[in-house]
């Protein structure tokens, strides 16, 4: 870390890198969570349409992404 960024951190400015990193990490976590929840719903007998409705996406989109499993 350079002196300037250290000073910025001490002054309470948030580091953009940390914020951006959090967004990227959240996106990856979201993908894994979706896979877990969709799989669980299928095991519980949910149709692709029902799953798509809850996720707020089209049936085609959810089937294309998770269907061939």
Within 11-30, which residues bind another protein (CB under 8 A)?
A: 14, 18-19, 21-22, 24-26, 28-29
- CB 67, CB 52: distance < 8 Å: no
Minimum gap (Å) between residue 27 Cβ and another protein: 10
- CB 67, CB 48: distance < 8 Å: yes
Q: Cα(24)–Cα(11) distance, rounded to whole angstroms? A: 25
> At 12, which helix (H) or strand (E)?
none
Using the rule CB under 8 A, is 57 a contact of another protein? no
Using the rule CB under 8 A, is 42 a contact of another protein? yes
Site for another protein, rule CB under 8 A: 14, 18-19, 21-22, 24-26, 28-29, 31-33, 35-36, 39-40, 42-43, 65-69
């Amino acid at each position: 870390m350079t002196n300037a960024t250290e000073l910025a951190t001490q002054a309470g400015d948030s580091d953009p890198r940390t914020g951006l990193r959090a967004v990227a990490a959240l996106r990856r976590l979201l993908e894994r969570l979706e896979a877990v929840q969709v799989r669980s719903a299928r095991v519980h007998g949910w149709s692709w349409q029902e799953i798509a409705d809850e996720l707020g996406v089209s049936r085609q989109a959810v089937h294309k992404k998770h269907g061939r499993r």
